[in-house]
Amino acid sequence: DCSMGNEERWGDWHPSFPGDIRHHVRRRVITGGHYDVDCRLEDPDGKVLYKEMKKQYDSFTFTASKNGTYKFCFSNEFSTFTHKTVYFDFQVGEDPPLFPSENRVSALTQMESACVSIHEALKSVIDYQTHFRLREAQGRSRAEDLNTRVAYWSVGEALILLVVSIGQVFLLKSFFSDKRTTTTRVGS
């Protein structure tokens, strides 16, 4: 349980991290409300490593002090009527060296340095693709919401048009109907 004061717990995740390794965490609210949630990260002893309130996106780095299960929690207490979709990404540790002998004293060959630059460029491409996928998911969510609203509005307009048409038919019918009253004499 990841209680954040007296707030209602919305969701939590319990990853196990190895100690003494740097971890990088990115999070972003993709859909829902004002695109903001509370976020909190606790170590196995319950010590708060990170706490941010009402943010749409953020990125932070921390070093796990010990092995164990950490608590990564989200709260949506201030906007309980809106469902939200949250993306988060944990990068555990640093990437291993591309070449095992990278700590050597001699310089890299031209082929090795080309491989390293291509590797760095591909990591950058992965980051851009992730960013664009998140933006596309936000846009798709907004478009689907707009499509739903347009569909309901169109159905409402069609119903109003039907009611007005029926009303006009009865009104025109009343103009051409014969409403003569007949009187009959009683007794003569």
- How confident is the model over 6-44, as pLDDT tens digits? 444 556 666 777 777 888 888 888 887 777 788 888 888
Cβ atoms < 10 Å from Cβ of 30 = 19
Answer whether residue 21 is part of any domain. yes
Quick one: residue 113, left, alpha or beta (phi over 0 = left, psi -120 to 50 = alpha)? alpha
Do 162 and 107 lie in one domain? The reply is yes
Domain boundary among 34, 59, 94: 94
What CATH number should be reported for the domain holding residue 20? 2.60.120.380
Answer whether residue 186 is part of any domain. no
**The pLDDT of residue 53 is above 70:** yes
**The pLDDT of residue 146 is above 80:** yes
Do 80 and 13 lie in one domain? The reply is yes
Do 83 and 13 lie in one domain? The reply is yes
Do 78 and 100 lie in one domain? The reply is no
Do 100 and 28 lie in one domain? The reply is no
State residue 158's pLDDT score: 98
φ, ψ dihedrals at 50, nearest 5°: -155, 135
Q: Are 13 and 49 in contact (CB under 8 A)?
A: no
- Domain membership of residue 130 as a residue range: 95-175
Average pLDDT, the chain: 81
Do 60 and 70 lie in one domain? The reply is yes
State residue 182's pLDDT score: 63
Answer whether residue 105 is part of any domain. yes
Give percent above pLDDT 70 in the chain.
84
State residue 12's pLDDT score: 63
Sign of CA dihedral 127, 133, 134, 139: positive
Answer whether residue 19 is part of any domain. yes
Do 87 and 100 lie in one domain? The reply is no
pTM of the full predicted structure? Answer: 0.59
Q: What per-residue string of b and e applies to 144-176 under the rule 16 or more CB within 10 Å gives b?
A: eeeeeeeeeeeeeeeeeeeeeeeeeeeeeeeee
Model confidence over 76-93: pLDDT tens digits?
777 767 778 888 888 877
Do 86 and 108 lie in one domain? The reply is no
Answer whether residue 185 is part of any domain. no
Answer whether residue 25 is part of any domain. yes
Model confidence over 177-187: pLDDT tens digits?
876 666 667 76
Cα separations in angstroms, 48 against 28, 45, 59, 62: 20, 9, 16, 11
Domain count, the chain: 2
